[in-house]
Structure 1
Amino acid sequence: MRLGIMQPYFFPYVGYFDVIRKTDKWVVFDVVKYQSKHWMNRNRILEPNKGEQYVTVPVDKRSSRELSDIAVKDPRQAGEKILRQLGVYRHAAPHYDAVHALVEETFASVGEGPVRLRDLNVAGLEKTCAMLGIAFDYEICSGLGLDFSNVQHAGQWALEICDQLGAAAYVNPSGGKAIFKPEDWRARGIDIAFTRMPDFRYEVGGKFTFLPNLSILDCLMWVGAEEVRGYLDTLPLDRDFAA
């Protein structure tokens, strides 16, 4: 089993889905502290003539600081605002209707009652993966009853999860490579493979200017699910830490 483990981000950039595509099983890593002004509750899309803008999900500041407990302040209002922001693409992006529906369905799926940010983000990942034709078999980390008492540094969280779930290999973005100690993984007999930072460039229209690594929503607006998936299919893995 090849495992992926990441915090649940809000409609993350295309590289996040490259990691999912290269795994057999996914662990939603929600046993960390919530960080404000982070990808947990916001991302970036284009704005005509101005470059970029943030789409943000406000959270209830009275919530616990654990990501697993962070609540969305007003899911209905947040969804409506983000859909209005996406309106800047309406007359320029060829796949506006499909992406608008994706976001609308994501918010509708979690309802208007008390909603955890984690669950909203997972719903977004699920629906985006379905659109891209990528399998997304996931577990929520906080519900697995794992033992993290041996974790001594950041790179060991993934090692303990992989070991306790019986994974043969772990996939991680290359940007996090420095936190891992190859000898720790070799001692457990678990391989690590790293994705490469994607350089996905595409044409944008109207008064927009292309910017890299925006939310997957921007990619899907301009090129559509089939082309995004085709691009992901070309990206290799780097296996630097073989067990």
Structure 2
Amino acid sequence: MHQPHYLPWLGLLDKIDRCDLFVVLDHVQFERKGWQHRNYVASKNGPVLLTVPVVQRSRDERIMDKSVNNSSPWWEKHSRTLAQHCYRKAPFWDEFGAEITAIYERRWEQLVDLSLATTEFVLNAFGITTPMVRSSELGEFTVQKSELLAQISAKVGATTMLSGDGARAYLDKDVFDRYGIAVEWQNFQHPEYPQHNRKGQEFLPRMAAIDLLLNVGPEGMDLVRQARIAD
């Protein structure tokens, strides 16, 4: 499970690809200056950060309640950056460019809907068919942190939760033991691949997953799978 991300990166796709079910944590608190509404894409001059402006109401606002701020045409900048500045000459732009630009032709009101649209696009393009469910659809949860993750896992009938390595410092495995749920660490290894606009320059890792898709195509996911190592 993971919070929904706008233009998700390869680490999140790897997690979804390895699971039988992906739970979208949309009922938890929105993280300011996090990756829930922004990500990097690669240009010949380096990473370009694309940020979706959001309406600021309360610091306690949940992701599922977060509104997109459409007072200025941010979508024009994002579409132009992708279609003209970064990927116009990418090997697979002709195949997927129309679907990408179509995302920016719609006026999105809720951030979670936009984030899931960008996620579902890359999942479909890479042929990843893992079913998804939103945590907000699973009922009310009054606990937090490890207890919350364990309860959600139990609610969907999971026997194992796949966790990113960043959670090693705070995830309490004893809590999961009480629910009879094992914890498996993702141990994500980032593959390197040709970036068409970076020839002769240093590879840029941790870009949005569309960078791999547009440079390598649907078979690019095989590079992610081959890079996995056992914990």
TM-score range, shorter chain: 0.7 to 0.9
Q: Does 2:200 correspond to 1:203?
A: no
**Which residue does 1:96 correspond to in 2?**
93
**Which residue does 1:131 correspond to in 2?**
125
**Which residue does 1:180 correspond to in 2?**
171
**Number of equivalenced pairs:** 227
Q: Does 2:141 correspond to 1:170?
A: no
Distance 1:21 1:146 in 2: 27
Q: Does 2:224 correspond to 1:232?
A: yes
Distance 1:230 1:193 in 2: 21
Alpha-carbon shift at residue 17 of structure 1 (Å): 0.5
**Which residue does 1:219 correspond to in 2?**
212
Alpha-carbon shift at residue 177 of structure 1 (Å): 2.1
Unaligned runs of 5+ in 2: none
2:222 counterpart letter in structure 1: G
Alpha-carbon shift at residue 238 of structure 1 (Å): 4.5
The 1:98–1:198 alpha-carbon spacing in structure 2 relative to 1, beyond 3 Å, is farther
2:41 counterpart letter in structure 1: I
Alpha-carbon shift at residue 55 of structure 1 (Å): 1.1
Distance 2:216 2:160 in 1: 32
2:134 counterpart letter in structure 1: I
Alpha-carbon shift at residue 213 of structure 1 (Å): 0.8
Map of 1:22-101 to 2, 5 A cutoff? 22-49=18-45, 51-62=46-57, 65-74=61-70, 77-86=73-82, 87-101=84-98
**Which residue does 2:11 correspond to in 1?**
15
Instruction: Give me the TM-score of the superposition, normalised by structure 1.
Output: 0.83
The 1:236–1:48 alpha-carbon spacing in structure 2 relative to 1, beyond 3 Å, is closer
Higher strand share: 1
Instruction: Give me the TM-score of the superposition, normalised by structure 2.
Output: 0.87
Task: Tell which deviates more after alignment, 67-76 or 123-132.
Answer: 67-76
Q: Spell out, residue by residue over 1:50-70, the C-alpha distance to the aligned partner (whole angstroms, 9 max, x if none).
A: x11111111122477221111
SS at match of 1:233: helix
Unaligned runs of 5+ in 1: none
Alpha-carbon shift at residue 162 of structure 1 (Å): 0.6
The 1:75–1:221 alpha-carbon spacing in structure 2 relative to 1, beyond 3 Å, is farther
Q: Spell out, residue by residue over 1:162-188, the C-alpha distance to the aligned partner (whole angstroms, 9 max, x if none).
A: 122221111111222222222222222
Alpha-carbon shift at residue 135 of structure 1 (Å): 1.0
Please report the RMSD computed on the Cα atoms of aligned residues, expressed in angstroms.
2.4
Q: Spell out, residue by residue over 1:13-33, the C-alpha distance to the aligned partner (whole angstroms, 9 max, x if none).
A: 111101001111111101222
